[in-house]
Amino acid sequence: MERILIKCPAKINLTLEVINKRDDGYHNIKSVMQLISLYDYLDITASHSCKKEILLSGNNPEIPYDNRNLAYKAAELFMETTGLSLSLRIHITKNIPIAAGLAGGSTDAAGTLYGLNKLFGEPLSHDRLHQICAQLGSDLNVCLEGGCLLAQGRGEKIEKLPNISMPVTLIKPKTLGISAREAYTKYSLLQDKPHFNNTEKMITALGDGKNIQNYLYNDLERAVFFDYPELRKIKEEFPKSIMSGSGSTYFVLENLNNTELDGYDVISGLEFIPCGITEEKLPQLNN
């Protein structure tokens, strides 16, 4: 039986511009994404077995621990791609809020692929891992690669951008989650879809070392903002905040230590990180 502990970071969208709707139902986007120091942890144990088996567990009762879970699908696809027959146990310690626009499910799936590949002697190249990530979802490639990236297509086409260091605070309504399907559907119904080209402006600012605050932008915020008073309250309290992904999390690029907002989770003390999925040292057992 082999065991590995994997550290899976969340992402935020510094920009998110929707280009058009694709024939497959997804949308083409142009987005600058940044990995941040908020992590889920995967404790993976695995062994060769005649019978393929995937047992998921975790600390969040809102998550399905079966074949609906993206980490489960990632484990299935790993075995299918490598031809390995494995008995797997994966425990997910969830710290990233769900349905929050932070890629919590995607980073766990990418972490599953990364961890299994490490455990079994890296049968898949880094490029092959990226190909599998692209099969599974839109943000997995970003989470696997890490740092600051330009994401295009439906999010699977990535290009590294200069890394910068900045503090981050997240603000999320405790009882509100917004699915990507809802946000993109509502965006499609908008009559007014301005194009500010903030992604290109953000890329230029990152390259020149300029202040990026003025270029933060999210098309999907326009789509859901007026449907939820919880989002409007965040903007009233924190005018510089921007929604990440499809929401419902907002972020500001500063530390708001000791800040409280009734009905909201405020997670401060975070920062930009230059990496993606990593292996974590296993805890030492007491003798």
The answer to whether residue 11 is catalytic is yes
- Which one is catalytic: 43, 108, 139, 219? 139
Whole-angstrom distance, CA of residue 79 vs CA of residue 112: 11
Look at the chain and count its residues: 287
- Which one is catalytic: 11, 73, 172, 186? 11
The answer to whether residue 108 is catalytic is no
**C-alpha dihedral sign at 154, 155, 160, 166:** positive
Q: Which residues are catalytic?
A: 11, 139
